Amino acid sequence: MDPDDDSIRRLSAEIERRRRAGGEPDPAAPDRPGRRALVLAGGGAAGNAWELGLIAGLHDAGVDLTEADVIIGTSAGSTVAAQVTSGTSPADLYAPILAEVPASPPATGREGLRHSASRGVSGQSYLEWSNAVIASAADAPDMRRKMGAAALQADSSQGSGAARWRDIVAARLPSHQWPDQHHLVVVAVDARTGEPVVFDRHSGVDLVDAVAASTSAMTPYRIGDGLYINGGYRRSENADLATGYERVLVLSPFSGRSRMPLEWRMDLAAQVEELRGSGSRVETVFPGAGAGEVFDANALDPSTRRQAAVGGHEQGRALAATLAEFWGRPA
């Protein structure tokens, strides 16, 4: 039994309840054969660029992943999810990455890491910090509680860090409004309780705040009275939240790996097993060699973005024929 099994059922049911409460058409209705979920995992600056490049490459070749019935974004994947559902074309999201000027050499320390994707911070300090928390935990829920406690203890900014982070996140999003034509779900973790949280347009939370919460790592992000940390502390992909969808496509910059003990079942293979066990068809896509050997601590370095995006774009075009059969609607 997955130790997080109860939260899977609860969060999946909440996603479906909100979809129906919002008056959205049932994707399982006879005139809409097959429900499709797109899952966008975290992966730092490089992961964001690779996912955008891949989605653009597939779109150029005739496969539109933004037609998914639900798009689930976690950490850097939540930024991608908000970007591709903004009404901006995949090509227009991809093109600016090619023109980006590499940032100055990485800074160090917690405050620098918080702005990793904009300041080019090395991920080594983050890995050391989080690995220590993981090693001290008894199981996944205990890890999330301890990660939240450590983040709360690390925050000495008195709110100024969160305000700066919000500005950075806002600048990355073409639209600050939840999309009307897509069911977008953003995953975070409550820093005080360690409980997973899902945000969507029915949550009463601004889109910018939801993405800022999902991407916040070593310090918490405040929304009202709540404090939140990175959604990847639940699971890097959170693909299991697509339970009940007929077809699930997962883009995983870290190739499904997890730094957590395998018995916690936080790796992508465990999530795919659960999804297939519930009747879903699942495909996963990992970065190819063309994206660069950057999907590790270096993933936070903005200088990796151009190669990651180009590699993703080429990979998307190459995979289009295969994924079209999986993703395309039945005749």
Residue 110 has pLDDT above 80, yes or no: no
Cβ atoms of residues 208 and 166 within 8 Å: yes
**pLDDT classification of 293: cutoffs 50, 70, 90:** confident
pTM of this prediction? Answer: 0.87
pLDDT for res 13: 62
How confident is the model over 278-290, as a mean pLDDT? 96
Q: Encode pLDDT of 5-64 as tens digits.
A: 555 555 666 665 655 555 554 433 333 435 999 999 999 999 999 999 999 999 999 999
The predicted structure's pLDDT at residue 18: 56
Q: Cα separation of 201 and 265, whole Å? A: 29
> What's the rounded mean pLDDT across residues 313-318?
98
- Give me the pLDDT at residue 5, please: 53
**C-alpha distances out from residue 324 to 18, 61, 174, Å:** 29, 9, 27
Say which DSSP state 296 is in: S
- Under 8 Å CB-to-CB from 159, ≥6 apart: which residues? 222
Looking at residues 243-257, what average pLDDT do you find?
95
Query: What's the pLDDT score for residue 14?
Result: 61
The pLDDT confidence band at residue 143, using thresholds 50, 70 and 90, is very high
For 65, list phi and psi in degrees, rounded to 5. Answer: -70, -20
pLDDT over threshold 80, residue 271: yes
pLDDT at position 222: 95
Eight-state DSSP code of residue 24? P
pLDDT of residue 19: 53
Can you tell me the distance from the alpha carbon of 66 to that of 64, in angstroms, rounded to the nearest whole number?
A: 5
Which residue matches tokens 């018995």?
Answer: 263
- Comparing 34 with 263, the larger pLDDT belongs to 263
Give dist(CA 33, CA 283) in Å, integer: 18
Give the span between the Cα atoms of 254 and 244, in whole angstroms. 25
Note the pLDDT of residue 123.
67
- Range with lowest mean pLDDT among 67-81, 263-277, 285-299: 285-299
State the burial class of residue 135 (Cβ atoms within 10 Å of its Cβ: 0-12, 13-18, 19+). exposed
Residue 275, C-beta contacts closer than 8 angstroms, at least 6 positions apart: 239, 240, 242, 243, 248, 282
Res 60: pLDDT: 97
CA distance 117 to 122: 10
pLDDT of 148-201, one tens digit each? 999 999 887 676 788 999 999 999 999 999 999 889 999 999 999 999 999 999
